[in-house]
Structure 1
Amino acid sequence: MTDPSEAVQSDEQIRSRTMTLLIAGHDTTTGALTWALRQVELPLVFAADGVERHVIPHP
């Protein structure tokens, strides 16, 4: 249960929590997009068992 006196937040608290949400969301989105674009870039090959797999090229 929350304390009824904590139900009303100041503008500063709301702003702080909103900024935290936006920054955290931005970081998560960036990571997900980077991973997805990297997966699209990797070539697919068929393994001996007939399953498609990504091949990570050696630098």
Structure 2
Amino acid sequence: MLPPGDIDRWPVDVMQVDTRPGVSFLVVGLWTAEEGASDLSLELNLTTDPATGRVTGEYCGLHVM
């Protein structure tokens, strides 16, 4: 489920991948309806196509924080 509150307060970390221009590494804290904030994080690479501006996601992993 989506975390409560405004999107700018959600537990998300974004880092540039220095070896891959146009790629950002995204870590998102996950939530459950039953327990609220979980101890899991979803990790993705987001790639922006410089010609079109289209953003695609690549699953990297699901981890315990």
Identify, as 1 or 2, the structure richer in helix: 1
Quickly name the TM-score band, shorter chain normalised: under 0.3
Greater Rg over alpha carbons, structure: 1
- The one of the two structures with greater contact order (alpha-carbon pairs below 8 A, sep at least 6) is 2
